[in-house]
Chain A
Amino acid sequence: MAKRLLFLISLFIVILGIVYIYPRKNQIIENKVENISPSAPENSPSPIPNKPRRILGMKPEENQKLSDEDLRTDNIPSEDWEDILTQNLEAQGGNSLQEIQIKKTESVILVRDNRKLAAESVVITLTRKDGAESSFRALVDSETGKVLETWDRPVFDPVHPNENFKVKLNPIYHGN
Chain B
Amino acid sequence: MLKRSILLPLLGVLASCNPMELEPKNTTSSIINNNDGSYDGMAYIYADSPANLRNGNARPGRIDMGEYLASGGPKLITNNNQLTGNCALKVFSYPYALNEPCVHVLSNAKQTQITGRASNKTFIFPANTAEFYETNTLYHVTKGTNFFLDNLGFAFEHVSYMLPPSIPKSIPSYLTDTKLFWFKSVLNQDSRIYRNEFLTTYSQCELDKNASFSPAGPTLCFGHFSEFPGFYFVQDPDIIYHELGHALVSIMMNLRNGRNSSTYHDLRSNLDAFGYNEAGSINEGIADYFAYLVTFDPKKPERRIGEFALGRTAKQARPVSEAHPSHISVVNETSQGRLAYPEFLLYDPNYPTKSIEDVHYAGQIMTHYLVALTKKFKSVCTLPTDPVEAHARVSKYTSLLLAETLAELGDLYAKGIDNSFGSPVTTGANFVNLDSNSSYVWLQVNNQVTYRRFSQVFAKKIKNFISSSPYGLCPQFTKDDSEKLLDDYGLLLFKTYNDQGHSTKDRNIAFNSVNSSVPALPLTKVQESYRRKSTLTSKELISLAKKDDQHTDRVGFYLIDNKPDIDGILQELLFKGFTVPLSTNVAGTEYNSEDVRISPGEIVGIIPNLQNNSNISIAGVQVLANDWDHVDLPPANTANGYYIERDLTNPLRTTYKEYKRLIPPATQGIAPVCMVQVSDDTQTRWASQKELADQMGLNNKDCLGYSASNQSAEDFTYNPHECLVRFLPGANTAFFSRIDSQKTYYESVLKKAETEAERKFNVGNILLMEVNKNISPGTRFKCKMRVRFNNCSDCYADPDANDADYLDYELNGHKPFKVINFEFDVNGG
A45→B219 contact, CB < 8 A: no
Q: Which residues of B contact A115 (CB under 8 A)?
A: 663, 716-717
Q: Which of B48-56, B259-267, B375-383, B528-536 contacts A (4 or more CB under 8 A)?
A: B259-267
CB contact list, A73-122 vs B, under 8 A: 74-76, 78, 80, 84, 88-89, 91-94, 96, 103, 105-106, 108, 111-115, 117, 121
A134→B575 contact, CB < 8 A: yes
Of the candidates A26, A144, A150, A173, which one forms a contact with B713 in the assembled complex, judged by CB atoms under 8 Å apart?
Answer: A144
Alpha-carbon separation in the docked complex, A78 to B740 (Å): 53
Is residue B75 within 8 Å, beta carbon to beta carbon, of the partner chain?
Answer: no
A-B complex: 8 closest residue pairs judged by Cβ atoms: A153-B577, A175-B555, A136-B577, A166-B760, A105-B191, A175-B557, A154-B214, A152-B215
**A-side interface size class:** 35 or more
B437→A34 contact, CB < 8 A: no
Is residue B640 within 8 Å, beta carbon to beta carbon, of the partner chain?
Answer: no
Q: 1/0 per position for B569-585, CB-CB distance to A under 8 A?
A: 11111111111111010
| Closest B residue by C-beta to A110 | B266
| Closest B residue by C-beta to A38 | B112
Q: 1/0 per position for B172-216, CB-CB distance to A under 8 A?
A: 000000000000000111111111100010000011111111111
Q: Which residues of B contact A168 (CB under 8 A)?
A: 565, 757, 759-761
Is residue B1 within 8 Å, beta carbon to beta carbon, of the partner chain?
Answer: yes
B582→A91 contact, CB < 8 A: yes
Is residue A10 within 8 Å, beta carbon to beta carbon, of the partner chain?
Answer: no
Least CB distance, B438 to chain A, in whole angstroms: 9
| Closest B residue by C-beta to A80 | B709
B190→A48 contact, CB < 8 A: yes
A155 and B578 contact, Cβ closer than 8 Å, known pairs A133-B109, A135-B216: no
Q: Which of B162-170, B357-365, B509-517, B675-683 contacts A (4 or more CB under 8 A)?
A: B357-365
B440→A156 contact, CB < 8 A: no
B283→A176 contact, CB < 8 A: no
Q: 1/0 per position for A142-170, CB-CB distance to B under 8 A?
A: 01111111111111111111101111111
- 11 further contact pairs, Cβ within 8 A, besides A106-B190, A123-B216, A146-B717: A23-B2, A37-B194, A39-B196, A78-B709, A115-B716, A144-B708, A153-B576, A157-B284, A162-B356, A169-B746, A176-B825
A149→B193 contact, CB < 8 A: no
A155→B262 contact, CB < 8 A: no
Is residue B422 within 8 Å, beta carbon to beta carbon, of the partner chain?
Answer: no
Q: Which residues of B contact A5 (CB under 8 A)?
A: none
Q: Which residues of B contact A (CB under 8 A)?
A: 1-2, 5-6, 100, 109, 112-113, 187-196, 200, 206-217, 219, 221, 225, 239, 242-243, 246, 262-263, 265-268, 270, 272, 275, 280, 283-284, 309-310, 313-314, 316, 356, 358-361, 436-437, 440, 544-545, 555-560, 562, 565, 567-582, 584, 588, 596, 598, 605, 609, 660-661, 663, 666, 669, 707-710, 713-717, 730, 746, 750, 756-757, 759-763, 766, 822-825, 828-829
Q: 1/0 per position for A20-49, CB-CB distance to B under 8 A?
A: 001100110010011001111100110110
A174 and B555 contact, Cβ closer than 8 Å, known pairs A23-B5, A75-B714, A150-B577: yes
Q: Which residues of A contact B212 (CB under 8 A)?
A: 154-157
Alpha-carbon separation in the docked complex, A169 to B750 (Å): 9
| Closest B residue by C-beta to A47 | B190
A106→B361 contact, CB < 8 A: no
A172→B193 contact, CB < 8 A: no
Is residue A16 within 8 Å, beta carbon to beta carbon, of the partner chain?
Answer: no
Alpha-carbon separation in the docked complex, A108 to B314 (Å): 47
A153→B598 contact, CB < 8 A: no
Is residue A11 within 8 Å, beta carbon to beta carbon, of the partner chain?
Answer: no
A78→B215 contact, CB < 8 A: no
Of the candidates B112, B268, B666, B759, which one forms a contact with A113 in the assembled complex, judged by CB atoms under 8 Å apart?
Answer: B666
Q: Which residues of B contact A9 (CB under 8 A)?
A: none
Q: Which residues of A contact B560 (CB under 8 A)?
A: 167, 170, 173
Of the candidates B207, B214, B275, which one forms a contact with A135 in the assembled complex, judged by CB atoms under 8 Å apart?
Answer: B214
Q: Which residues of A contact B196 (CB under 8 A)?
A: 39
B581→A88 contact, CB < 8 A: yes
| Closest A residue by C-beta to B582 | A91
Most buried by B among A18, A76, A132, A146: A146
Q: Which residues of A contact B573 (CB under 8 A)?
A: 92
Alpha-carbon separation in the docked complex, A56 to B266 (Å): 7
B763→A111 contact, CB < 8 A: no
Alpha-carbon separation in the docked complex, A136 to B578 (Å): 9
B584→A91 contact, CB < 8 A: yes
Q: Which residues of B contact A155 (CB under 8 A)?
A: 212-214, 246, 270, 272, 280, 283
Of the candidates B246, B314, B730, B761, which one forms a contact with A169 in the assembled complex, judged by CB atoms under 8 Å apart?
Answer: B761
| Closest B residue by C-beta to A63 | B188
Least CB distance, B745 to chain A, in whole angstroms: 12
Alpha-carbon separation in the docked complex, A102 to B663 (Å): 30
Alpha-carbon separation in the docked complex, A137 to B359 (Å): 23
A59→B579 contact, CB < 8 A: no
B267→A151 contact, CB < 8 A: yes
Q: Which residues of A contact B708 (CB under 8 A)?
A: 143-144
Least CB distance, A156 to chain B, in whole angstroms: 5
Alpha-carbon separation in the docked complex, A157 to B192 (Å): 28
Q: Which residues of B contact A112 (CB under 8 A)?
A: 437, 660, 717
Alpha-carbon separation in the docked complex, A22 to B1 (Å): 10
Alpha-carbon separation in the docked complex, A121 to B190 (Å): 12
Of the candidates A45, A103, A153, which one forms a contact with B215 in the assembled complex, judged by CB atoms under 8 Å apart?
Answer: A153
B208→A154 contact, CB < 8 A: no
| Closest A residue by C-beta to B596 | A172
B579→A88 contact, CB < 8 A: yes
Alpha-carbon separation in the docked complex, A25 to B681 (Å): 83
A117 and B717 contact, Cβ closer than 8 Å, known pairs A151-B270, A176-B829: yes
| Closest B residue by C-beta to A103 | B194
B716→A126 contact, CB < 8 A: no
Q: Which residues of B contact A114 (CB under 8 A)?
A: 660, 663, 666
